[in-house]
Amino acid sequence: MTAEQRIKNLSVPAGPVDVVLDTDTYNEIDDQFALAYLLRSTEKLNTKAIYAAPFFNQHSEGPADGMERSYEEIKKILTLMGEEYPVFKGSDRYLENESSPVPSPAATDLISRAKQYSPDAPLYVVAIGAITNVASALLMAPEIADNVVIVWLGGNGRHYHNTNEFNMKQDIAAARVVMQSGAPFVQLPCMGVVSSFTVSAPELEYWLKGKNPLADYLAANTINEANAYAKGKPWTRVIWDVTAVAWLLNDRDRFMLSRIEKTRLPNYEHIYEDDTGTDMRYVYHIWRDGLMEDLIKKLLK
């Protein structure tokens, strides 16, 4: 890929584009918002497939169980929305190293789809979990790197003291594979950048509660989860996964600000290393209220 083509593909796309979403949907409460926002943004985004990503925290018994639970949660959101899309199960484990892929239906589908695209008309891959599925596809078929643009919510801001963020720390090997693959890469860092995209209980109750089955579920799920952690104290909750979808809708910088940077890899000690010399796009600020307005409008469709 030429330098000029890379810069073009690292810009917000001008017209309707094809998208796949890679999501650990059951891990938290924000993937559900991101999935719904994507599917309600049909004015510009054509969703082609949804992939279930592995995760391991208090909501799962391990990466494989997390992926299975995410698969079922994707199906639940689709049912609430009255929608049908192809959904594929992803990896049942993380990469063991930077050269051994984990085959899965999701990785196989991504390879097959990406081969139908080109640098001039790429497939946009929005990833909002551990990026194992995408890395595995790139390891199995490196040639697809030129045909995709990868938009990932992962890691922390470059000014932050570490990269020990949930999506990145689950599979550092996968993050390094993707960031060195040659695929145009857009990073939405968590702490210090998209951590500003939060929502509160009064907002959820005012804007979403009682409006439709999807809105009711998102509000109740978020409030219940947040209350369990807050234990009676005031709270706001990050729903930052929404920002990865929003980057594709970021015409005229209406939702966020970003710039071209050189790619900096995370190492296994949870800090960024020196840059690789390859251009990437780095998001550094979110216009919270404008994005929240668009999200609510679409959830109430």
Provide the whole-model pTM: 0.97
Q: pLDDT tens, 243-301?
A: 999 999 999 999 999 999 999 999 999 999 988 899 999 999 999 999 999 999 999 98
Q: Are 221 and 228 in contact (CB under 8 A)?
A: no
- Tokens standing for 134? 């995408």
Instruction: Check which CATH number belongs to the domain holding 109 and give it.
Output: 3.90.245.10
| Residue pLDDT, tens place only, 151-202 | 999 999 999 999 999 999 999 999 999 999 999 999 999 999 999 999 999 9
Rounded CA separation 91/102 (Å): 6
Beta strands in 7-165 (DSSP E): 17-23, 45-52, 87-89, 123-127, 148-153
Residue 211 in domain: no
Is 205 within a domain?
no
Q: Can you give the length of the chain in residues?
A: 301
**In this structure, is residue 202 part of a structural domain?**
no
**3 state SS for 207-221:** HCCCCCHHHHHHHHH
SS3 content of the chain, % helix, strand, coil (to 5): 40, 20, 40
Segment 100-144, tens digit of pLDDT: 999 999 999 999 999 999 999 999 999 999 999 999 999 999 999
The answer to whether residue 203 sits within a structural domain is no
Number of domains, the chain: 1
The whole domain housing 180 covers 3-197+239-299
In a domain, 158, yes or no: yes
What are the DSSP calls for 69-91, one per residue?
HHHHHHHHHHHHHT----EEE--
Domain-embedded: residue 42: yes
Within 10 angstroms of residue 119's Cβ, the number of other Cβ atoms is 17
165 within domain boundaries: yes
The verdict on residue 209 lying in a domain is: no
What tokens does 103 get? Answer: 């085959």
